[in-house]
Structure 1
């Protein structure tokens, strides 16, 4: 699972194993160590909302995805979903959850569980 945060936006990329785990267990989580602290982030399926949502509780970024969205990502070519969340303080948070595709240029990164890139083999 990859997390990207920029200003008031959060983007999460899920590989095949992440989607399978989310489908089977209802939650996928990871931890990034920083010295003596941990950055925790997770995705959990839900039936209580009809769109993506996010919270920050107990030092964990938690994103919620409706079960129907997850099913569509698994069963179809749907790449992902986005939503702009209006926070209680009047601010907004842009949320994007999408499939993690293999990069078109080689990287020093294990991409064995990434989805095939739809642009692979195409020329400009």
Structure 2
């Protein structure tokens, strides 16, 4: 699972395996060590009405409404988004293979729908 933070936005991208695990367990979690601190980011399926995010104790927790999580994991839907009450843009999406040559392993990413249009 990857996150991108910038321009008042927070974006989560998940590979096939991560989406499958999220579908079965209702949670995806990663931790990165930054110096002496850790940053943990979580995507969690919860009973709520809309996407919501919190940041406490170096943990970013993005809560996804159960109905939205179920639709996303069980269909071809690429992603979903919303703005939270502070205006932060939230986006969750399936991670596609890049069209450019990159060095990172993309074997678990979704096929890019634009790949056949090159």
TM over 0.5: yes
What is the Cα deviation at residue 75 of structure 1? 2.1
1:1-124 equivalences in 2 (<5 Å) = 1-47=1-47, 49-86=48-85, 91-123=86-118
Looking at structure 1, the residues matched to 94 and 69 of structure 2 have their Cα atoms a distance apart, in angstroms, of 11
Any gaps of 5 or more consecutive residues in structure 1? none
Task: Give the C-alpha shift of residue 70 in structure 1.
Answer: 1.9
**Unpaired stretches in structure 2, ≥5 consecutive residues:** none
1:78-118 superposed Cα distances (whole Å, 9 cap, x missing partner) = 110000111xxxx3211000110010112111111111101
Q: CA deviation at 1:51?
A: 1.7
Give the deviation of 1:74 after TM superposition: 2.1
Instruction: Tell me the SS of whatever aligns to 1:105.
Output: coil
SS for the counterpart of 1:51 is coil
TM-score with structure 2 setting the length = 0.93
Superposition misfits of 4+ residues, deviation over 6 angstroms: none
Q: 1:44-94, CA deviations, whole angstroms, 9 ceiling, x for partnerless residues?
A: 0012x22211101221000011122222222222110000111xxxx3211
Q: Displacement, 1:2?
A: 0.8
Aligned residues: 118
